[in-house]
Structure 1
Amino acid sequence: MTHVYRTTAASAALLVAVFGVTACGSDSPGTSPSTSAAAAFNDADATFASQMIPHHQQAVEMADLALRKATTAEVKNLATAIKAAQDPEIKQLSGWLAAWGRPVPTPGEHSGHSMAGMMGADELAELSKASGSRFDRMWMQKMIEHHQGAVAMAKTEQTTGKDPAAIALAKKIDTAQTSEITTMRRLLGS
């Protein structure tokens, strides 16, 4: 409760200071609270978030499929790790878009768009029909392609983004998914 009070009090003091300075200062552009809040991110950050959400949603869908159908512990473990990482990231990305005043994609909204690594409906159907070791191999092959698309988007965000938290998440996605790609390639080779 003390933390909430301190946070609320600090926020109120900040607002008083901002509006007090704005009211007493000049009418020059760039001094309003909305302008300074908007300066914390750029279009690359918004594009990264709005594209990574449906990309992650499809990875979670693929992970759920593997948790039901995979025959090896390695694939089930990968699926568990992917779902555990990407579900919270979807929420984080959605929160940023909402805070930035940008639309949050709904599940399936980008299904008609071609984003790097995204599977089409026919590919998902084919994967769903596979079974046994064929499913495991196909799932890893498709997930490698999917991860490569996410890594490419994360690298773009790291070079063109502005929001420090979005860039940090992009680095985390790049590192984690590159590691998972290495693991899946090793499993496919054995």
Structure 2
Amino acid sequence: MRERLLGICAAAGLLLTAACDGTGQDAAPAESQGRPAATQPSTGATETTPDHNESDLEFAREMVAHHAQAEVVAELALERASDPGVRGLAERIKATQGPEKRQIMDLLRMWGEDVEVTGGDGGHDHSNLMSEETFQQLRQATGAEFDELWLRSMAEHHENAVELAEAQLRDGSDSLAKLFAQNIADRQRAEVTELTALLQG
């Protein structure tokens, strides 16, 4: 399963590099035996198995919940947005969040960990998720008001995902989880730029 996930993630990284900035900078390459070189975990990281630590586990579970919420928020824009640019970006966000979520769930299964997709319970910090109050505001808004609120809310949501990914790159142990984190951070930074541009009109 690791080799399959790595192949998917490496391919996604290469596509991202080509599509986003055209600078020719390569995504982190896979090493010779189908697994990227592991980055040393930071001092104080708590090991759970030789393959992953608590930071890896927190990243994976939080990101599954984060992506699941992003799919729902993107679907709202497909139903309610008045700006074609907003709908187009929402469609692309939804198309990437689902496959990434499933890949991270596969990673949790590979580790032998429970897959959790719901937020707010189980002792986990879900402060990076969009609040129910914001959801209610999005459900009630229409037209240009909805578009502006959606763009602001999704930009903040993406920024929270980047923070999760950066924490994983800093504190995680598993090299494949780090590769997922780098790809997520790169893509969502690029989408924040698009969201901000649409806000500025």
TM-score of the pair, normalised by structure 2: 0.71
1:44 alignment partner in structure 2: 55
In 1, Cα distance between equivalents of 2:85 and 2:132? 26
Q: 1:70 deviation in Å?
A: 0.8
Q: What is the RMSD of the two structures over their aligned residues, measured on CA atoms?
A: 2.0
* Corresponding position: 1:142 with 2:142: no
In 2, Cα distance between equivalents of 1:110 and 1:45? 19
1:63-121 per-position Cα deviation (integer Å, ceiling 9, x unaligned): 00001111111111111111111101111111111221211113456599653442221
* Percent identity over paired residues: 36
- For the Cα contact (< 8 Å) 2:59–2:165, is it kept in 1? yes
CA distance 1:152–1:65, shift in 2 (3 Å): same
Structure 2 residue matching 1:128: 3-state secondary structure: helix
2:113 alignment partner in structure 1: 102
In 2, Cα distance between equivalents of 1:184 and 1:112? 32
In 1, Cα distance between equivalents of 2:155 and 2:86? 12
What amino acid sits opposite 2:108 in the alignment? Answer: L
Structure 2 residue matching 1:103: 3-state secondary structure: coil
- For the Cα contact (< 8 Å) 1:151–1:178, is it kept in 2? yes
Structure 1 residue matching 2:114: 3-state secondary structure: coil
Q: 1:40 deviation in Å?
A: 1.9
* Corresponding position: 1:161 with 2:172: yes
What amino acid sits opposite 2:74 in the alignment? Answer: A
Give the paired residue count. 154
Q: 1:43 deviation in Å?
A: 1.5
In 2, Cα distance between equivalents of 1:146 and 1:112? 21
1:80 alignment partner in structure 2: 91
1:122-163 per-position Cα deviation (integer Å, ceiling 9, x unaligned): 210111110001100000000011011000000011111121
TM-score of the pair, normalised by structure 1: 0.75
- For the Cα contact (< 8 Å) 2:55–2:173, is it kept in 1? yes
2:141 alignment partner in structure 1: 130
In 2, Cα distance between equivalents of 1:116 and 1:79? 23
- After the TM superposition, which residues 3-18 of structure 1 pair with which residues of structure 2 at under 5 Å, given as runs? none
In 2, Cα distance between equivalents of 1:112 and 1:103? 14
2:132 alignment partner in structure 1: 121
Question: Larger Rg: 1 or 2?
Answer: 1
Greater percentage in helix: 1
Moved over 2 A (4+): 106-117
CA distance 1:106–1:124, shift in 2 (3 Å): same
- For the Cα contact (< 8 Å) 1:54–1:110, is it kept in 2? no
In 2, Cα distance between equivalents of 1:137 and 1:51? 26
